[in-house]
Every structure is written in C-alpha cells, then in structure tokens.
Structure 1
Amino acid sequence: MDVQTWTYIIVGVSFALYIGIALWSRASSTKEFYVAGGHVSPLANGMATAADWMSAASFLSMAGLIAFSGYDGSVYLMGWTGGYVLLALLLAPYLRKFGKFTVPDFIGDRYYSNKARTVAVISALFVSFTYVAGQMRGVGVVFSRFLETDITNGVLIGMAIVFFYAVIGGMKGITYTQVAQYCVLIFAFMVPAIFISIQLTGNPIPQLGFGSNLTGTEMPLLDKLDGLMTELGFTAFTDGSKSTIDVFFITAALMVGTAGLPHVIVRFFTVPKVRDARLSAGYALAFIAILYTTAPAVAAFARTNLMDTVNDKAYDEIPEWFGTWEEAGLLAWSDKNDDGLIQYRPGKLFSEKGPSFQEGKGKYGQRLLNNEIDQSSQNELFIDNDIMVLANPEIAKLPNWVVALVAAGGLAAALSTAAGLLLVISTSVSHDLVKKQLMPDLSDKGELWIARGSAMLAVIVAGYFGINPPDFVAAVVALAFGLAAASFFPAIFLGIFYKRMNKEGAISGMIAGLGITVFYMMRYKLGWIGGPTSSDDWWFGISPEGFGTVGMLINFAVALTVSRFTPAPPKAIEEMVEDIRIPSAG
C-alpha cells in the first residue's frame, strides 16, 4: 500500500481511539472537567504528563532544529529537560498540597487578591495561545503532507478533533486520551530512529548509534557529518555559533518557563495525594527521557541522509519524497545557475519565511516560485525545519507503514498538548474569571457550560494562530516558555518559599516581567513595533527566545522591592504558606 493509504488507516484508527476514550470518560462535573476528579493514578498521570509535555515542538521541530543548527540546538534539550526536573522537584508537590484547580487559582488565593488572579489569567492566556499556535502549526504540517491538503485545511481538521475530545471530555477525557497518545507518539518516534540507526551504524540503539562508526567504515557518524557540512561551507554540526550569553539566557528561559507552564502544572492536581504527585513526576521524567535522548541522534541521521541524498544531485534523479514535500509547500528549489543540480549551501534561497508557488512546472519539473530569489548566496534549496522528522523515514527509504506511523505520532504529540492548553484557557476564563470574580453564585452546571463555551472559542483563536504563526514550531513554543518564565515562575516560587511576599509585590512583578517580555518579542520577533529588525539590534545580544530570563529577573526584582515597602500579607496567608511547605505523609 502507498503512504497515503497507510496514513488514512493508522491516523484514522488513532483518531477513533481518541474520540472513543473521550466519549467513555466525558466529564459530568467541574471537578472532572478541571482536574479529572483528582483520582488519576501516578502511572497514568506520568504518561499523560509526558504526552502533554512532549508537544509538536518536541516531536516534530526539536530534532529538525538540531539537524539544522547542530550544537546550538542543544539549548532546547538542556532547557526543557532541566526545566521539567525543576518543576517536578521544586514546585509540583507544594502546588498539589495547595489543592486548587488552576495556577491563577493558586495565585489569587495565595495573594488574597482578585487583581492578582486577573493578572494571572491574562498571563495564562498569553502563554497558552502562544504555545497552542505552535501545536496547530504542527498539525497543519502533518496533514498538508500526508493527506495532501494545504496547511490551512490541516489546521481546520485538527481544530475539529481537539474540539471534540477537549470540550466533551475536559481534563478527564484529555488525561486518558493523552495516555493513548503517549503510546502512539513514542512508538512512532522510536521505530524509525531504530531502523535508521541500524541502517547507518549497525547499532539498534539510536543513542549509541549517534556516537558510533558508520557501517563498514572506521569513520564516526559525527565526523562524517562535520566533514560534509564544512566542505559545503556550513558550520560544523558539533560547533556552535550562538554567543555564550544567548545560550545561557535561552536555556534559563526554557527551564524556568517549563516550571511556570500552567498546562503542565495542572496535571499534578489530578492525582489523589502529594506523594502521588512526586511519583507521577518521576514516571513522566522517565517517559520524556526516552524521546529527548533520542532526538539528537534523529537530527544527525536526518541531516546526514539529506545531504547525501539531495546535494549536487540532478532534480530529475532525486527520490519521490522531494517532490511530495514540494507539493505540500514546505520545500522548494530554484536553479540559480541553470545547471539542473540542487546546490545545498549556506544562506537563504529567498528572504520570505516560506515559499509562494506559481502554477505549472519549470524545465526540470520543479515547482516555480513567486518569491524574490536571494542571489547573494549560492544556496538553491529551502527546507522547512518542521519537516525533518516526518521526512526522515522517506529519505532513508523505510517502509510506507513507518512513514505513516510517524505522521500519526506527530499528530498525537500536537493534539495532546493543544488539548491541555485549551483546557487551561477554558478554566482560566470559566473558573478564575467568571466563577471567582464575575458570577460567584454560578452553579456547577452553569460553570461547566461556560468552560465548554470558552474551550470552543479558544479552539477558533488557536486555529487562527496555527494558520498564521510567527515562526516555525519550536521557535513559537520557545516564546511561550519565555512568557511563562517572565510571568508565572517568580509569583509561584515566591508564593511558596517567601512568606513575606504580598499581593502588591506579586502583581507589580508579573505586570513588569510580562510587559517587558511581550514588548521585546513584538519588537524583535514579530516586527510589530518599529518594523523589521536583525540580531544586531538585540539588547545585550539576547535573542527573543532567551529574553524571558530578563523578564523573570525584572519580575523578581520588582516583586521583592515593592513587597519591602508595602504591608505584609495577613497572618492567615503566612500560616497557609507555612502549611504548604510542611511535608505530608499522604
């Protein structure tokens, strides 16, 4: 069977499974909708947390980003995995002991203020909508290739699926759906990695194959890759080009951003006891490590195979996968020197973010571009970072069912995280804004209806951002982590470990941290303030992906300063904080 038939079968079966689970476990109360009733086992919660955590950025984009940036991509590995450890050990058990539904719920009660709650709701919406844009973009990339539709239609299909099981099932439905999605995505990621590791190095363990010699030679894989890249003018795969300060700030933003992500934190409210929160965090870390330790190997395999397969080859001799991704609008070639050969070199093919195609084909059969071609570089090839994991099995000539399996895994990763984020948006509006502030007498049934309505509206907005994303998946997600670092982390950390922190300090810190970070991202990432910019304009050489660390430091400084010159919190709040920090036997 061809790839598309296999895709319809495997994706169709997985979608039917997700919808069936959502119907079986649909929420009938707000507690089930928000925290799955608080009765999820640590093992199931660990798998669900891993699926929630390993988004389209982890599955689709991280390995692609490492494939093209090499050593510089390690910031994502260090930041995201280190951040999860920080969250699991430093914050999760205490938040579970507090026993609320959401992060804004914690901030509102800890800082005895609806203003603090409102600022937290706004922060949650900023973080979640930025993050979910990356997920919907990932869904569109998968559908555009494997169901042979454009990205817009792919995003619309993804919206419909997420709407169904997030709105009907709530956290209860999402939790058990995510258990299934974890199984799908990790199997889909590992199977081609194992196949390609055997193919290239003879070692069935990708993590070891990454450092092994190529089959039948004494040359290590990474030495060959470094040689290929330097020969063509690229920076060696194992060398970095980012400044030390930017690497540090991006890694820190990803770490503390992870510890402030509301859709991951809320997962620890779904288990019965504090001990279960710690145990599920351990399970999740083990499940996450399987993918994260494999991603660098997948990146190296993909870049090696790509350069061997495409570079300096005649267009009419390259494999079928090249043309298929061209048709999907995620790969393009322009023959600058009219020799019929594909020259993959440093530099951009064109200045725009993605290709715009004309009708018809060129003399070699290639898609013709509307884009203005950049003649200042020798590069003739455009490759979207987000396709590398999906294209890797095709480039390596693996069986069609493996190619389709990877498509199902990419969808599982994107949809699982999108559902968790949509629930955060829904609960922030229905519980923290409407129930806690605007309509305190609202019935449980009425709150549930508002939660579902909020989720429906959130799906629509998320779809828009998925169709019009500011960048590729991992970069969009990195911005969300920066926003979480600048807003939530200081308020949560100080709320747990500093009894003297008061509402004035927390509110001022969150506004200052979030405000400066949003400004920086709008100015230097989106170009909405002052027009287009370059990396030469960055403050202190810090990229928008790393600026969340600056926002966090500003948040801490403002919060601590303001709290020193304003009244201490009530005695009851200080006693509550003390109680949260006391270890529990349960």
Structure 2
Amino acid sequence: MSEHSWFIIAIVIYMAVMLGIGYWSYTQTKKYDEYMLGGRGLGPVVAALSAGASDMSGWLLMGLPGALFVAGFSELWIAIGLLIGCWANWKWIAPRLRSYTEVARNSITVPSFIENRLHDTSHVLRITSAVVILVFFTFYVSSGMVSGGKYFESTFGGDYLTGMLIVAAITVAYTFVGGFLAVSYTDAVQGLIMFASLIIVPVMAVIALDNPMDIFGWQTTNDYGPYTGGEGNPNYFNMISGVSIAAIIGNMAWGLGYFGQPHIIVRFMAMRKPADAVAGRRIGIFWMLLCIVGALFTAMIGTVFFAQNPNIDVTDTKAYETVFLDMGRILFHPLIAGLVLTAVLAAIMSTISSQLLVTSSALIEDLYMITVKRQPRQKNLMWLSRLSVLLVAVVAGVLAVNPSDSILGLVGFAWAGFGSAFGPIVIAALFWKRLNTPGAIAGMIAGAVVSFAWGQSALSSTMYEIVPGFLANVVFMVAVSLMTKAPAPHITEQFDKASRLSREKGMLTPEMLA
C-alpha cells in the first residue's frame, strides 16, 4: 500500500471521530444558548484543553517551529510572553468573567457582556465589538485555512487549494451541526493529539541522529536550511544578539493578546463554576509549556536532521513552516505518521471551529438580535447561526486562496487586533469599577484603529502593533472614563456582587444571582 493510502486512512479515521463528536453534540444541543455556550457546563479539563487547542492553532506546530528553525532562540520571546499571558488570563480573568457574565443578564458573548456590564442602552459598544470581531476573525480564520492548504501540500504533495477546501469543509460541518459543545470537545481531543505528537516527533527524531548531542551546537557552525554561506547561524542560541529592545518588547507583548481573544475567553464563560479556573489554569499551563518545549526541540533537532541527511528536504523552503510535518512523515510508518500528522490538522481545525462560532455569534447575537423587535424562535436562531458559520467560512476561504503572508504573519495581525481592541476593556470591566460606556467605546475604537494602522505601516517592522494598540486603548479608556459621568450606583453594586461570586467554591445558584 502506498504512503498516500496510509495517510488517507489515518485522516479518514480522524475526520470520522470529529464528525462523530459533532453528531453527539447535535443530540445534546436543543436551545440557542446551548449552541452558543454549551449551557455553561464545561469541566476544567475540557475547558483547559479546548482553550489551549483553539489558542495555539497551526502556529504551534508550523509557525513556531518554522520561526525557531530559521532564527533560533530569539523567537522564544513570543513563547515566553504567551506563557505569562496565558497564566495571567486563567488566574485573574477566568473566575471573574465566569461569574460576571452570568450576573450581567446571563451574557453569552463578549460583546453582550461588555454591553450588559456597562448597561449601554445605545448598543454602540455591542455593535463596535461585533464589527471588530468580524474584521479580525476573518483574517484569523483565513490563516487557519492557509495552514490547512500547506498541510496537504506537505503531507500528500497535493494541491494547496484542494487541501484548504477539505479542511474547511470538515471543520464547518461539525461546527455547523454541533455548535459550542462540538467545538469544545473536538478541541479537547485535538489538544491531546497535539500534545502527544509534539512529544513523540522530536524524541524519535533525536534517536535517529548519529550523535544526538549535535542539536546543541551544530547550527552555529554548519549550514542548514536558509544558511548556505558556510558559517551556519552563529547566533542560533543567543536570545538577544541582533534583536532590538523594541523587538523583544513586541514579542513578549503577544501575551497581552490573551485578555482580548473572544474564542479563548468564551471558555471561561462556559465553565461550570468560577472555582474550576484553578484546575483549568494548572492543566492549561502544563499542556502549553510542554507543547512549546516540543516545538522548540522540533526546530533544534530539525536543523541537524535535515542538514545531515542531504537526500531529504523541507517542503517549505521560504518560511520552513513544514519542519514538523516533514519530520513526522519521514520518521514513522505511513499509518503512524498519518496519525501523528493529524496533530497539525487538529491544531488548524480546532482554531477555525472556535473562531467560526464566535464570529457567528457576533453576527446573530450581537448584530441581528438587537435589530429585531420580536424574539425569534430558538430553532430559527440556531439555523441563522449555522448559516452565519457558512458565510464567514466562504469569505475567509476566498482570502486564503492566494495567501500573501506567512501563517505567523496572519495570526499576528489578528491577535494584535483583538488584544488591542478588547484586552484593556475586559480587564477594566472586571477590575475597575469606574469604567463607563464612553470610556469603553473610546478605548476600543482607539485600540483597534491604532493596531490596524500600525500593522499596515512600515512601523510594524520596528514594534509589534499590539503594543501601541493596547496602550492607545488604555489611555483613551481611562481618560474618557474619568472625564465623563461615573457609573450609576446599581452598576457598581452589580460589580461588587460579581466580584464576590467569583470567589465562590461551588456552583452559582439562582438565589446567589438574584
């Protein structure tokens, strides 16, 4: 049997499992809020793994190993910043957001929470938030589809467009059918696949080397990948050589993005109780740390693995984002390799599905629902949400047909947009009683505009756009809030109540929320 046939068998098994979870989720989903938030019933394991899988995407297995392969340890600043940001997100945002979203009229989306938290009757905040989600998530979903196309190119030597369409079709199918439960449980399974593969591939690759200790010095004196001048990359293990302070700050600032990523923090809103954030944080950080270590060693070992074996090559000779894929394909029996390589497919699909659902909620819950005079039937809302998933997927697919940027570039642009627009607002909404509607509107618009403009300008090569975007949001949010009317007493009382409930160990009962 040919290699491609084994790969197809492995991927068919994986796709069948994903569709099976989607169907099971469909049988468990009867109401609109269950389709969008799973009835707030996620346990800490599923919440942590699904948040991690939807967060990391193809960047973890393709973008990060590729960047580390080319540039070396100077790219680790991003991973360090992400680890710190992820820990802080689980530590401080998760428990408060879980309690506050239920206190604030049982909000099921980030835009609806911000509106209900500030009691904004004009809907300006909600509309602005939804527009930001639509704009930046379209690019984010597109980056996942680009990853899917590259996956099929490397794995099957096939057509980029065909691969991109297959990945998009399967992901849309289970998201369309099963909603939030399907997305969360498939993400949890995909997170486990990613974790296992990032451990297995580098371990097997280093065993295959004649001298495993070469991985700690070969790169600095020998040519590999893009280095052909006879000197290799002397600064491979140097985290600061050739890297400006602005670049280090910009890379570390990726961690700021966590506070404003709707597809991640929606997992906090769906947890069973605020106290689950403690276990969720421990599981999530352990998973993320080992995955990043696996990606790092994949890149380190890859530099030696391919250089010492001239008969094999990295498929992607521009960004080298297929290092993990190529090593997995070469090292294992085709069936095992196919199962290992589904880790990349898992990473891609987990992120796309989460983002599609959040974008659908922005269209229906945050734009459509505020325009209708009569509450639509639950069944109609669910079908409208499903159609929105299809619409967003089509637009993102069109953008992904001819990708003009690397996976890391597309992800970085969208990540900065969300972090700049929502991050400071979410933090302030949970911890600053004085925040008001004008301040939130001013901050959100300033953050989104500055991030977008900076990212499209030459300045983006000097400093990652999330830094000026985040700062612009904070300055405008604080200044305008202080210059305008303070929140009414009933708003601050609700703030105190949500803060108190975030420390509850058990489930939040109707009596507590009343």
Both proteins in one fold, TM over 0.5: yes
Q: Any residues of structure 2 matched to 1:398-437 within 5 Å, and which? A: 398-437=332-371
Q: Which moved more, 1:9-18 or 1:119-128?
A: 119-128
| Equivalent AA in structure 2 for residue 226 of structure 1 | T
In structure 1, what is the Cα distance between the partners aligned to 2:152 and 2:176?
A: 22
Work out whether residues 126 and 483 of structure 1, in 8 Å CA contact, stay in contact via their aligned partners in 2: no
Q: Any residues of structure 2 matched to 1:324-473 within 5 Å, and which? A: 325=315, 330=316, 382-394=317-329, 397-439=331-373, 441-473=375-407
1:577 matched to which residue of 2? 495
1:110 paired to 2:117: yes
In structure 2, what is the Cα distance between the partners aligned to 1:180 and 1:430?
A: 28
In structure 2, what is the Cα distance between the partners aligned to 1:437 and 1:548?
A: 32
In structure 1, what is the Cα distance between the partners aligned to 2:171 and 2:381?
A: 20
Work out whether residues 435 and 447 of structure 1, in 8 Å CA contact, stay in contact via their aligned partners in 2: no
Q: What is the CA distance between 1:448 and its match in structure 2? A: 1.3
Query: Aligned with 2:321: secondary structure?
Result: helix
In structure 2, what is the Cα distance between the partners aligned to 1:54 and 1:298?
A: 16
Q: What is the CA distance between 1:23 and its match in structure 2? A: 0.6
1:249 matched to which residue of 2? 250
In structure 2, what is the Cα distance between the partners aligned to 1:47 and 1:191?
A: 19
| Equivalent AA in structure 1 for residue 235 of structure 2 | A
| Equivalent AA in structure 2 for residue 110 of structure 1 | R
Work out whether residues 221 and 232 of structure 2, in 8 Å CA contact, stay in contact via their aligned partners in 1: no
In structure 2, what is the Cα distance between the partners aligned to 1:410 and 1:163?
A: 17
- Which of 77, 80, 92 is matched with 2:79 structurally? 77
1:193 paired to 2:113: no
1:17 matched to which residue of 2? 17
After superposition, the C-alpha distances for 1:53-106 in whole angstroms (9 at most, x for unaligned) are: 221111222111111111221122112222111211121111110222111111
Q: What is the CA distance between 1:8 and its match in structure 2? A: 0.4
Work out whether residues 302 and 388 of structure 1, in 8 Å CA contact, stay in contact via their aligned partners in 2: yes
After superposition, the C-alpha distances for 1:104-143 in whole angstroms (9 at most, x for unaligned) are: 1111112222101111112222332222222111111111
1:237 matched to which residue of 2? 236
Q: Any residues of structure 2 matched to 1:20-31 within 5 Å, and which? A: 20-26=20-26, 27-31=29-33
Q: What is the CA distance between 1:579 and its match in structure 2? A: 1.7
1:93 matched to which residue of 2? 95
Query: Aligned with 2:275: secondary structure?
Result: helix
Q: What is the CA distance between 1:440 and its match in structure 2? A: 5.3
Structure 1 unaligned regions, length at least 5: 202-213, 311-317, 331-381, 525-537
- Which of 442, 445, 462 is matched with 1:542 structurally? 462
In structure 1, what is the Cα distance between the partners aligned to 2:396 and 2:20?
A: 24
After superposition, the C-alpha distances for 1:233-267 in whole angstroms (9 at most, x for unaligned) are: 54421134221112112211x11112211000001
Q: What is the CA distance between 1:398 and its match in structure 2? A: 4.1
| Equivalent AA in structure 1 for residue 7 of structure 2 | T
In structure 2, what is the Cα distance between the partners aligned to 1:226 and 1:234?
A: 5
In structure 2, what is the Cα distance between the partners aligned to 1:431 and 1:53?
A: 23
Percent of pairs with identical residues = 24
2:226 matched to which residue of 1? none
Q: Higher relative CO (CA 8 A, sep ≥ 6), structure 1 or 2?
A: 2
Q: Which moved more, 1:506-515 or 1:58-67?
A: 58-67
Work out whether residues 469 and 476 of structure 1, in 8 Å CA contact, stay in contact via their aligned partners in 2: no
Query: Aligned with 1:556: secondary structure?
Result: helix
2:37 matched to which residue of 1? 35
2:264 matched to which residue of 1? 264
Query: Aligned with 1:228: secondary structure?
Result: coil
1:141 paired to 2:147: no
2:183 matched to which residue of 1? 174
Work out whether residues 135 and 414 of structure 1, in 8 Å CA contact, stay in contact via their aligned partners in 2: yes
Work out whether residues 9 and 335 of structure 2, in 8 Å CA contact, stay in contact via their aligned partners in 1: no
In structure 1, what is the Cα distance between the partners aligned to 2:489 and 2:372?
A: 27
1:50 matched to which residue of 2? 52
- Which of 197, 222, 232 is matched with 2:216 structurally? 222
In structure 2, what is the Cα distance between the partners aligned to 1:446 and 1:433?
A: 15
In structure 2, what is the Cα distance between the partners aligned to 1:25 and 1:441?
A: 25
1:342 matched to which residue of 2? none
1:132 matched to which residue of 2? 141
In structure 1, what is the Cα distance between the partners aligned to 2:374 and 2:304?
A: 59
In structure 2, what is the Cα distance between the partners aligned to 1:505 and 1:468?
A: 39
Work out whether residues 42 and 270 of structure 2, in 8 Å CA contact, stay in contact via their aligned partners in 1: yes
Q: What is the CA distance between 1:307 and its match in structure 2? A: 2.4
Structure 2 unaligned regions, length at least 5: 224-228, 507-514
Q: What is the CA distance between 1:51 and its match in structure 2? A: 1.8
Normalized against structure 2, the TM-score is what? Answer: 0.90
In structure 2, what is the Cα distance between the partners aligned to 1:25 and 1:167?
A: 11
In structure 1, what is the Cα distance between the partners aligned to 2:438 and 2:333?
A: 60
After superposition, the C-alpha distances for 1:355-382 in whole angstroms (9 at most, x for unaligned) are: xxxxxxxxxxxxxxxxxxxxxxxxxxx4
In structure 1, what is the Cα distance between the partners aligned to 2:446 and 2:163?
A: 37
1:183 paired to 2:185: no
In structure 2, what is the Cα distance between the partners aligned to 1:403 and 1:42?
A: 31
In structure 1, what is the Cα distance between the partners aligned to 2:277 and 2:369?
A: 27
1:523 matched to which residue of 2? 457
In structure 2, what is the Cα distance between the partners aligned to 1:220 and 1:408?
A: 29
Query: Aligned with 2:478: secondary structure?
Result: helix
Normalized against structure 1, the TM-score is what? Answer: 0.79
In structure 2, what is the Cα distance between the partners aligned to 1:14 and 1:73?
A: 32
1:359 matched to which residue of 2? none
Pair 188,486 (structure 1): closer, same or farther in 2 beyond 3 Å:
same
- Which of 409, 419, 444 is matched with 1:485 structurally? 419
1:158 paired to 2:167: yes
In structure 2, what is the Cα distance between the partners aligned to 1:233 and 1:10?
A: 37
| Aligned-residue CA RMSD (Å) | 2.0
Query: Aligned with 1:79: secondary structure?
Result: helix
Pair 157,165 (structure 1): closer, same or farther in 2 beyond 3 Å:
same
